[in-house]
Chains A and B, each alone.
Chain A
Amino acid sequence: MSSTTKFDFTSTHKRNFIILFVIGMMAVLTGVFTGQADAQKTWANLLVNAVFFTGLSALAVFFLAAHQIAFAGWHALVKRVPEAMTSFLWIGAICILVVTGGTIGNYNNLYHWSDTFLIKEKVTMAELEAYEKEHAHGHEMEGDHESGEHHGEEHSMLSNGTVVLASAGSEGGESGMIDNPYYDEILDGKSAYLNDAFFMTRTIIYLVLWVFIGYQLRRFSIKEEETGEKMWFQKTRTWAAVFLVVWAVSSSMMAWDWVMSLDPHWYSTLFGWYNFISLWVASLSVVILLIIYLKRNGYMPQTNENHLHDLGKYIFGFSVFWTYLWFSQFMLIWYGNIPEETAWFLERKREYNFLFGANLAVNFLVPFLVLMRRDAKRNFTVLTVVASLLIVFHWVDFYLMIIPSTVHGAAPIGYFEIGMALAFAGVFLYSTFRALSKVSLVPQHNPFIQESIEHHI
């Protein structure tokens, strides 16, 4: 076994990533100060990137766990890369906590169900007045068009800032309690699940479990490298199995909580798995790009076309699988044609028609047509182009799931949105490269390392 080189995290790398972050932040700040992005938009974009980048990192843990459990021999040479990607997980977790906590603490209005006024059947006149005053002057109320489908009149009036006291007042009665015109029966029904305390508890549980297990897997791997003891391999197996069980439940729930509940009236049982696979393709693409980068800079000499061929097959196969899930969800809702369900897609088609089509076209056609050939999967340039496109367009996928539910009206991707993503990318890359430099890029004592070195397809 030859190469034990560590990655050299040079000051140039650091500078570049910091510059990336600074440029991104400048774009964000420009957006905020020029009013191009209001508070709602800023929070919403923060959510897009928090979910996406945390997802990239969480799926790196999944990569490690799944291959460990499947006794995959070939991946030993590349496993340092996803291991390093897990180092961002705690930062992403903080970002998620900031955004979700922002709703709970009423700093933002992303999660419309968090407004407890909507689930009160009866309110006092004073409460109603205060509520309307706040919403008439304050930021635009979230999800209003959404409930509008069920409570059309009240809400359309609310969006115009008109007061609806007239109708509400008549039932006043002696108790001073009147029917809440904003009462949302559906949200009330869901409030046992969608409420601040339970929501935050769940969020914290997923994040803590992911961060913890991700940390453990990385730690065992480093221990294995340092001590050469075989016990770490077995420990990794145990924790990998634990992660897969945790993931089976938390992957769907995180998608329901963080993304689907932005449209609290809408539901789709496939939503969780769809989110999972979207992130999985993006995360695999990041792994590919990082490996190619390292190889181009002279690292990982033993990792060759054969390993990238396998990763290329992954993004080919899982892109097709992603398309399958996209189609299943879309077609069934289109075919059933139930207004509560179609509203979600209609909104995206109405304001984001181009992105909606581009999302499907790029994420399916590009990997499908380009990576079908064996040679393409073994060509680093082709892989770089496809993987980059997939990362961008799976980010767009999340943009399309989150933004139309939070920022109403068209919100095309401009310098602000790109800037925010770049800032996140800067931090993600900084953290990942830093982690890469901590331990030998070749896990010498992994029992599969020789298989991986001799891997030939």
Chain B
Amino acid sequence: MFVSPIREPLIQGHKTYAQMSDDIIGPVEAKPTKTWMLAVTCTALLAITGFVMIGLTITYGIGLWGLNKTIGWAWDITNFVWWIGIGHAGTLISAILLIFRQKWRTGVNRSAEAMTIFAVMCAGLFPLIHMGRIWLAFFIFPYPNTRGPVWSNFNSPLLWDVFAISTYFTVSLLFWYVGLIPDLATVRDRAKTAFRKKIYNVFSFGWTGTAKQWQRFESLSLVLAGLSTPLVLSVHTIVSFDFATSVIPGWHTTIFPPYFVAGAIFSGFAMVLTLMLVVRKIFHLEDYITLSHIESMNKIIILTGSIVGVAYITELFTAWYSQNQYEQYAFINRSMGPYAWSYWGMMTCNVISPQLFWFRKLRRSVVFTFFMSIVINIGMWFERFVIIVTSLHRDYIVSSWSYYTPTYVEVFIYLGTIGFFMTLFLIFAKVAPVIALAEVKSILKSAGDQYIGEHAAHAHHTEDAGHGHYETLIKPQ
């Protein structure tokens, strides 16, 4: 297959297939390093703290939180939306970019999918603990019962959420695991001990890699991608419906569905970058997660960040344009009320800062990208906080206006989920290949640096002798 000389290689270091297996599975086979042990210990401790606080909440009730009559949703739902949003990047990379044939996704999709699953797990915790009586959580499912039977309310966006999140979790898990099976088989076949072989055979489901298996594999991947694409849109859409179906100023607005989705992908990419830049460093995967990958992800950050920015402005403008005093007040209050700090924090982190990625130098700077990924994650947390708390804290009756501050319980539950997320990710990175090995191998011939780009061993595109010239065009510095 011909590859235009102006494309950058996505696999560096003149790899062979055998080397790729060594590089990517090596860390799985090696003994855990001290750094890894230390990291897992820290994150696990954080997670345990969070779970202790969740235990307290369940024991004593959500009176331990800073919620009050006016502000009934705050950090809990903010965290829920934030985590769900982060999960979206995994599905975007593995599904939407698969459909758009973006080869660079193969370097990061495996970790991003894992991240999706762990993020959804963290997200799911919050509505459950917010219920107060978590042992009655099964009430949310429609099942025949002796109370009428009174079914769950199918007109309620909160019930839609139940279906959306559980479907999303299931489908993401399937997608991730189906892709993981062949790579786990590679781990199995490289294993030195019988025990290890046995374990990995169980997890690889006995994969052998026959032509028919691969044919079905590709068909399934494509259909799952086709299903996941509208699914990922629907999930954050339904999360946005939780707000937008109400008539609360600041929540009831039609742009919410696509704007939430764009915001979700935006924050998700930031988290993928945070994780991948660390993974890349620790496992020495610079040849597989190249600057070109980072640049591509940063471009998506500009795109989604700008979509989010346009949505903010649209909301702000329409609030004024509506000439509805409640709409207008909601936005005046956001930008100048007691929570103005969060509004301007959100604007700075999400709208202004990603625009810095218009500079190619910054897009390709690892340090700057890492810094920005954190900034964006903070910004997107602020966004949900702004939407939820600011819209609620001053309702129609002035006497019920209120101000919300989180308690230490809420803060530690939030930090705990971050610890939980990181712990799961670290364990995953130790027991399974963090890069989709089979998929990266399949692009070697069209994206390896010995085949394309300036260091290509032989140019199989004789017509365009001037391809070096393109390089200078695309890389101005």
Contact = CB atoms under 8 A, between A and B. Distances in A.
A329 interface: yes
A317 B96 CA distance: 11
A328 B323 contact: no
A269 interface: yes
Interface in B296-325: 306-307, 310-311, 314-315, 318, 321-324
Nearest to B254: A270
Contact of A252 (B252, B306, B314, B323): B314
The SS class assigned to the A binding surface is helix
Among A185, A233, A447, which residue has the most Cβ atoms of chain B within 10 A?
A447
B306 A324 contact: no
Interface string B1-35: 11111110000000000000000000000000000
Nearest to A265: B323
A157 interface: no
A448 B245 contact: no
Interface stretch (A139-147, A404-412, A449-457): A449-457
Among all A-B residue pairs, the 4 with the closest Cβ atoms: A269-B255, A270-B254, A189-B323, A328-B257
A15 interface: no
A332 interface: yes
Contacts of B237: 324, 328
A332 to B, nearest CB: 5
A269 B315 contact: yes
Contacts of B311: 269
A215 interface: no
Nearest to A446: B4
Interface in B219-238: 229-230, 233, 237
B323 A234 contact: no
A336 B473 contact: no
A197 interface: no
Contacts of B258: 270, 273, 324-325, 328
B244 interface: yes
A26 interface: no
B473 A249 contact: no
Contact of B323 (A71, A186, A230, A320): A186
Nearest to A260: B321
A451 to B, nearest CB: 5
Contact of B473 (A71, A231, A267, A317): A231
A335 B99 CA distance: 33
Given A231-B473, A270-B258, A328-B258, A450 B253 contact: no
Contacts of A189: 323
Contacts of B314: 252, 269, 272
Interface residues of B, number: 44
A131 interface: no
Interface stretch (B207-215, B275-283, B387-395, B462-470): B462-470
B1 A454 contact: yes
Given A272-B314, A447-B6, A324 B230 contact: yes
Contacts of A268: 254, 318
Interface residues of A, number: 47
A340 B318 CA distance: 14
A293 interface: no
B4 A73 contact: yes
B473 A233 contact: yes
A336 B323 contact: no
Nearest to B3: A451
B470 A230 contact: yes
A333 B254 contact: yes
B256 interface: yes
Interface in A310-346: 313, 317, 320-321, 324-325, 328-329, 331-333, 335-336, 338, 340
A276 B8 CA distance: 32
Contacts, number: 106
A451 B2 contact: yes
B246 A450 contact: no
A336 B252 contact: yes
Nearest to A189: B323
Contacts of A450: 2, 4, 461, 463-464
A329 B254 contact: yes
A5 to B, nearest CB: 19
A130 interface: no
A190 B327 CA distance: 14
Contacts of B247: 336, 338
A269 B318 contact: yes
24 contacts: A1-B463, A71-B7, A186-B323, A189-B323, A230-B469, A234-B473, A248-B307, A267-B318, A267-B321, A269-B253, A269-B314, A271-B254, A273-B258, A317-B99, A324-B257, A328-B257, A332-B245, A332-B252, A332-B256, A336-B244, A336-B245, A448-B4, A451-B4, A453-B2
A27 to B, nearest CB: 36
Contacts of A272: 314
A193 interface: yes
A313 B99 CA distance: 9
Interface string A421-457: 0000000000000000000000000011011011010
Nearest to B469: A230
A447 B252 contact: no
Interface string B155-194: 0000000000000000000000000000000000000000
Contacts of B99: 313, 317
Contacts of A71: 6-7
A331 B323 CA distance: 23
A454 B463 CA distance: 14
Given A269-B253, A324-B257, A333-B254, A230 B321 contact: no
B424 to A, nearest CB: 32
B246 A336 contact: yes
Nearest to A188: B323
A186 B322 CA distance: 8
Given A270-B255, A324-B237, A332-B244, A454 B2 contact: yes
Contacts of B244: 332, 336
Among B241, B247, B257, B311, which residue has the most Cβ atoms of chain A within 10 A?
B257
A376 to B, nearest CB: 15
Contacts of B315: 269
A328 B6 CA distance: 40
Interface string A367-411: 000000000000000000000000000000000000000000000
Interface in B397-438: none
A273 B255 contact: yes
B254 A230 contact: no
Contacts of B324: 340
Contacts of A333: 254
Given A267-B318, A324-B233, A332 B310 contact: no
Nearest to B246: A336
A336 B252 CA distance: 8
Interface string A189-232: 11001000000000000000000000000000000000000110
Nearest to A337: B247
A454 B379 CA distance: 44
Contacts of B461: 450
A456 B1 CA distance: 9
